[in-house]
Structure 1
């Protein structure tokens, strides 16, 4: 394990908090004046371990409608090609 300083861990924690606060403001349309009493806004350090998952149909479209990812589709296509080549010989 690498020896990392406190400043490294502090930087990574602050980076994660800033990223998640940006999600709350820009994606979830939180207004700091209206939602100022929420614990995440009052104490942004809680965002370092918070999970901002969304399982709505818009965010998880492929998962909810069983659409395969492109790299899986490519592997399946390659496997089918190999099978057809093997059977045609």
Structure 2
């Protein structure tokens, strides 16, 4: 196990908070000056463990357009090949 200092964990936490604040302001259009009543804006430290689930077409492209992910498609192709090999014997 790597020994990491407090500053490393502090940096990672602040990085995650900054990323999620960016999502709140640019994607969800929450304005920090106007929406001070929202708990995430008033206390941004809560964002370190918050889950910002988004179901827009950009974030869930494969799900919304029924596209199979590449690793699942590879497994399905391998299973189909095994079935064909079994039936051809």
Residue 20 of structure 1: aligned partner = 20
Q: TM (normalized to structure 2)?
A: 0.76
The CA deviation at 1:66 is 6.3
Alignment correspondent of 1:51: 51
Mapped to 1, the partners of 2:28 and 2:56 lie a distance apart of: 15
CA positional deviation for 1:88: 2.0
- 1:20 Cα offset (Å): 0.6
Partner of 1:29: 29
Unaligned ranges ≥5, structure 1: none
TM-score of the pair, normalised by structure 1: 0.76
Runs of 4+ in structure 1 displaced over 4 angstroms? 59-67
Give the number of equivalent residue pairs.
Answer: 88
Q: CA RMSD in A?
A: 2.4
What residue ranges of structure 2 are gaps of 5+ in the alignment?
Answer: none
